[in-house]
Amino acid sequence: MPGPYHYVILGAALFGLGVVGFLTRRNLIVMFLSTELMFQGVVVNLVAFAQMHRHVEGQAFALFLLVVAAVEAGLGLGLVVLLYRRRGTLDAEAWAIMRG
Amino acid sequence: LSDQAAYLLYLLFAAGGVALLLALPRGQAAPTRRLAGLLLGVAAIIGAMVLFGAVDIMAPSAFFYFFGAIALFTAARVVTHPKPVYSAVYFVALVVAVAALVLLQGAEFLAIALIIIYAGAILVTYAFVIMLAQQARVLVYDVRAREPLAAVLVGFVAMAAVAGRIADVNECPVPLDTDSRLVLAANSDTGAAPDNDGQANLAAESSTELGNTVQVGLTLFGPYVVAIQLAGILLLVGLIGAVALVRKRMPEDEVTETVTIGQIGKEVPPF
């Protein structure tokens, strides 16, 4: 059986890929998809820690994380639709004025 | 993890970073560059497998490496694919691979919940928004990445730092089962008093007896019942917020007559 740190390293890799995706991609939908990728890395981590401590509390936390991810997807995609209505494009650079 | 192995791990992360950098869309079509990125990424994944297979004392499980490789590859494709629809499809594959990994850890309920909620509900929402807002042709902001070098540096340095630290976790003294409340609860139900040295065995036994779904349910509706209610409220707030955000205010007298289907998208804007 692979130890917990195999899973933790895999979770870190998934999270890092999500970070890279969020920073590099300019399409708003793909940016939000990258945040979901980061959530997947966190799920892997939580379950690995739950297994390491031999309790299910980590899995319970992962379920709460699913709730947060669902709310985030709903609100985030609502915002994406709103931004698309305003500018007619999904390009994040169209909102570069918000950098200040 | 020894020092040498840690440096090898950093090297593998660097290789993965270069691979991702090469594979990120950069405007002009460059099949050789992308192919090089793909090969280097696959080499990094295989190198990680060999490293962990060689370094680890415990025998490696083939399923972990199989699904882990699938997860990493599909995650890289989610990030690098120029078309959002394909990104979403790769994300579904990623969710299935992660569910398999979670299943390997004995979390059956969470694995099924991941597939149902993520691959089923959330990704369908994404597919709807992609259908609403994405144009059919390939757009410049999809094929040209923003600051790829800096982002890859940030992501992979953070990743390697975390992974390198975490690799020491086996040496850390981990208090196994010091407050396994669920085990205590299960034992108090049956009247068996848990002794300290046998707790790990008891946990293993009770997990096989009760089943994962029952255990998760007992935990969620035992110590975390308030949190469950709050999660429900959070979902409600999210629902109301999403509706309030996207709703269009329309005065009664300005409601136009119905448009025929052929007009939408041509004379009439879709929103």
User: What integer is the mean pLDDT of B30-48?
Assistant: 74
Residue A54, C-beta contacts closer than 8 angstroms, at least 6 positions apart: B176, B177, B180, B200, B203, B204, B207
Q: What's the pLDDT at B192?
A: 42
**pLDDT 10s digits, B82-93:** 888 888 999 999
pLDDT exceeds 90 at position B200: no
User: What integer is the mean pLDDT of B23-28?
Assistant: 68
pLDDT exceeds 50 at position B176: no
- Residue type at position A70: A
At residue B173 the predicted structure's pLDDT band, cuts being 50, 70 and 90, is very low
Helix (H, G, I), strand (E, B) or coil at A91: strand
Q: What percent of chain B has pLDDT over 90?
A: 13
CA distance B87 to A98: 27
Q: What percent of chain B has pLDDT over 70?
A: 66
**pLDDT 10s digits, A66-90:** 999 999 998 998 888 888 888 888 8
Q: What's the pLDDT at B265?
A: 64
Residues in chain B closer than 8 A to A33 (CB atoms): 78, 84, 87-88, 91, 126
At residue B259 the predicted structure's pLDDT band, cuts being 50, 70 and 90, is low
Quick check: A95 contacting B, CB < 8 Å? no
Q: Which of A66, A89, A77, A34 is nearest to B242 (CA)?
A: A77
Instruction: Classify B139 in phi/psi space as left (phi over 0), alpha (psi -120 to 50) or beta.
Output: beta
Q: What's the pLDDT at B211?
A: 80
Whether B145 and A56 lie within 8 Å, measured CB to CB: no
Whether B58 and A89 lie within 8 Å, measured CB to CB: no
Q: What's the pLDDT at B77?
A: 87
CA distance B145 to B94: 22
B 200-259 near A (Cβ less than 8 A): 200, 203-204, 207, 212, 215-216, 219-220, 224, 227, 231, 234-235, 237-239, 241-242, 245-246
pLDDT exceeds 50 at position B256: yes
Determine whether B241 is exposed, middle or buried from the number of CB atoms within 10 Å of its CB (0-12, 13-18, 19+).
middle
Quick check: B148 contacting A, CB < 8 Å? yes
Q: How far is A58 from chain B (nearest CA, A)?
A: 9
Closest partner residue to A47 among B107, B146, B220, by Cβ?
B107
Q: How far is B194 from chain A (nearest CA, A)?
A: 15
Token representation of residue A50:
């739950």
* Average of per-residue pLDDT values in chain B: 74
Token representation of residue B125:
């929402």
> Are the C-beta atoms of B24 and A24 separated by less than 8 Å?
yes
Q: What's the pLDDT at B55?
A: 55
Q: What's the pLDDT at B29?
A: 59
Q: In this predicted structure, which of A39-53, B8-22, B55-69, B186-200 has the lowest mean pLDDT?
A: B186-200
Q: What's the pLDDT at B30?
A: 65
Instruction: Classify B198 in phi/psi space as left (phi over 0), alpha (psi -120 to 50) or beta.
Output: alpha
Minimum Cα–Cα distance from B170: chain A residue: A5
pTM of the model as a whole: 0.76
Minimum Cα–Cα distance from A93: chain B residue: B141
Q: In this predicted structure, which of A32-46, B165-179, B239-253 has the lowest mean pLDDT?
A: B165-179
**pLDDT 10s digits, A1-59:** 567 777 888 888 899 899 988 988 888 889 999 999 999 999 998 998 888 887 888 88
Q: How far is B266 from chain A (nearest CA, A)?
A: 15
Token representation of residue B184:
């205590």
pLDDT exceeds 50 at position B43: yes
User: What integer is the mean pLDDT of B39-50?
Assistant: 75
Predicted ipTM of the assembly:
0.92
Whether A32 and B102 lie within 8 Å, measured CB to CB: no
Token representation of residue B81:
């694919």
Quick check: A40 contacting B, CB < 8 Å? yes
Neighbouring CB atoms inside 10 A of B242's CB total: 19
Q: In this predicted structure, which of B32-41, B149-158, B195-204, B248-257 has the lowest mean pLDDT?
A: B195-204
Determine whether B146 is exposed, middle or buried from the number of CB atoms within 10 Å of its CB (0-12, 13-18, 19+).
middle
> Are the C-beta atoms of A38 and A19 separated by less than 8 Å?
yes
